[in-house]
Amino acid sequence: IGDGGSAGNYGYANSGYSVYEEENERLTESLRTKVSAIKSLSIEIGTEVKNQNKMLSEMDNDFDSTGGLLGATMGRLRTISRGSQTKLLCYMMLFALFVFFVIYWIIKLR
C-alpha cells in the first residue's frame, strides 16, 4: 500500500508537472510569435527610415540648387538696381504715359 500510494503521488506529481510544462510550451510559443512579429515590424521600420532619409537627402540637394539659383537671380537684381535710378524712373514714367495715351486713344475711338 505504501508503494501504491507512493506511485499514485508520483503519478499525480508528474501530471501537475506536465500541466506546467504544457503551459510553459504554450507561453513560449506565444512569446516566439510575438518576438517574430516585433522583429518583422522593426525590419519594416528600418527600411522605411532608410527610404525617408534618402528622400530627405534628395530634398536637401534640391533646396541647395534652388538656393543657388535664387542667389544668382538676387545678384542680377542687385546689379540692375545699382544702375541709374533716374534712368529707371524715367523709363517707367514714359511707359506709364504711353499706356495712358493708348487707353485714351482706345476710348476716343469708341
What is the model's pLDDT at position 90?
Answer: 83
**Alpha-carbon span 94 to 100, nearest angstrom:** 10
**Distance between CA atoms of 73 and 76, rounded to whole angstroms?**
5
Mean pLDDT confidence for 11-37: 84
Q: What pLDDT was estimated at residue 13?
A: 53
Least confident of 1-10, 17-26, 44-53, 90-99: 1-10
Give 64-103 pLDDT, tens digit per residue: 888 888 888 888 777 776 766 777 778 888 999 999 999 9
Long-range CB contacts (< 8 A, 24+ apart) of 23-26?
A: none
Which residue, chain included where needed, has cell 514714367? 93
In angstroms, what CA-CA distances link 93 with 9, 90, 99? 114, 5, 10
Q: Which of 71, 74, 90 is nearest to 82 (CA)?
A: 74
pLDDT, tens digit, for every residue of 36-69? 999 999 999 999 999 999 999 999 988 888 888 8
Provide the pLDDT for residue 96.
93
Whether residue 33 is predicted with pLDDT greater than 90 in this model: the reply is: yes
Distance CA 21, CA 19 (A): 5
**Could you give the CA distance from residue 105 to residue 97 in angstroms, rounded to a whole number?**
12
